[in-house]
Amino acid sequence: MSRTDQKKVNPEMLVEMIPFLRRYHKKVILIKYGGNAMVNDELKKQVIEDIVLMKYMGMYPVIIHGGGPEITSMLELIGKKSTFVEGLRVTDKETMIVSEMVLSGKIAKDLVARISSYGIKSIGLSGQDGGLIVAGQKNPELGYVGEIKTINSELINKLLSEDFIPVISSIGCDEDGNRYNINADEAAGKIAIELKAPVQIMLTNIEGVMKSQGDEMKVIPRMNVNEIDDYIEEGIITGGMIPKVKGCAESVKNGVERVYIIDGRKSHSLLSEIFSDLHEGTIIYQ
Ligand SMILES: Nc1ncnc2c1ncn2[C@@H]1O[C@H](COP(=O)(O)OP(=O)(O)O)[C@@H](O)[C@H]1O
Ligand SMILES: CC(=O)N[C@@H](CCC(=O)OP(=O)(O)O)C(=O)O
């Protein structure tokens, strides 16, 4: 590349970042990377670039990833149909094995490899590693769906102090070695609380929590935790959005200052969110 081909950095833009860098310096930023936001390779690259940049700028990003659509596709390949109850996948033994393979074996490894390629240390952990997520059965009707009991935040903090970006798969384990499939949104909330993360960002495949206004669907920019149950009862919030908003509500009730649901399909949506007070998605507050 010749000197004239090189793009100039805009110093004014960098200076404008100072208040945000100050706000988030050495702070844990919990990022939930939903399976539906893993749309294509270019977008995945941009999400990883944003996270790597946060790390180089002195923040402590922690990733908890999903992968629901990939689990569904893999199950279809072996002739198994998926059933969901209020956004949770009914999980028999075979579904459990496939979920673990896809989440820990495929998606986490891919994310770790991508992060490492930028010179940042990253480590993939499933909830069973180092007692990271201790869980029990949520409801016998859902099979091996887990309810989180404890999070080993000490392990995550140790990794952060050694400059790793942890990439966590939402698999839990009980004292007898039984593994459970945990909704990644639920896990995100619990981990954010335990790490005392000031910020939790949920990357999904929609602009935010939507509500119809006349003929149009519009983003609800701010949603109070007390409104959530009404939205669910009225059928405004359905499917996968139910565990998402419930998890976000738990976070804000338990000390997380800002929880955002944002559109992971937009280019560099994470950086836009962190470095601006103009939020485009939904903020959940208490
Ligand atoms: N009120 C709502 N606003 C936005 N999305 C909603 C709403 N109700 C249901 N949904 C559905 O929830 C989906 C997001 O949840 P989910 O598919 O589990 O995402 P992810 O894979 O990111 O966790 C949206 O794509 C949409 O289909
Ligand atoms: C119990 C349960 O529903 N587990 C989820 C775990 C993955 C997940 O949550 O992925 P997304 O964030 O992409 O939806 C599942 O099996 O789909």
Ligand 2 atom index nearest CA of 84? 3
Residue 95 has pLDDT above 80, yes or no: yes
- Best probe residue, ligand 2, of 86, 148, 183, 204 (max atoms within 8 Å of C-beta): 183
Residue 2 has pLDDT above 80, yes or no: no
Contact 135, 173 (CB under 8 A): yes
104 lines ligand 2 (CB under 6 A): no
Q: Which amino acid is at 62?
A: V
Q: Give me the mean pLDDT over the 41-66 stretch.
A: 96
- Looking at all shown ligands, the one closest to residue 95's CA atom is 2
How many Å lie between the centroid of ligand 1 and the Cα of residue 210? Answer: 9
Q: Give me the mean pLDDT over the 41-57 stretch.
A: 96
Q: Hey, what are 22's tokens?
A: 């100050």
175: DSSP letter: T
146 lines ligand 2 (CB under 6 A): no
Element (H, E) at 269: helix 269-274
Residues 202 and 85: their CA atoms lie apart, in Å, by 21
Residue 50 has pLDDT above 70, yes or no: yes
The pLDDT of residue 173: 96
CATH 3.40.1160.10 fits 24-285, yes or no: yes
Residues 224 and 192: their CA atoms lie apart, in Å, by 19
How many Å lie between the centroid of ligand 2 and the Cα of residue 117? Answer: 27
Residue extents of the structural domains in the chain = 24-285
pLDDT, tens digit (0-9, with 9 covering 90-100), for 217-262: 999 999 999 999 999 999 999 988 988 999 999 999 999 998 999 9
Cβ neighbourhood burial of 52 (10 Å; 0-12, 13-18, 19+): buried
- Looking at all shown ligands, the one closest to residue 92's CA atom is 2
Q: Which amino acid is at 15?
A: V
pLDDT, tens digit (0-9, with 9 covering 90-100), for 152-189: 999 999 999 999 999 999 999 999 999 999 999 999 99
Q: What is the DSSP string of 10-21?
A: -HHHHHHTHHHH
Distances (CA, A) of 162 to 114, 126, 166, 197, 271: 19, 19, 11, 18, 24
Residue 139 has pLDDT above 90, yes or no: yes
- Looking at all shown ligands, the one closest to residue 241's CA atom is 1
ipTM of the complex: 0.95
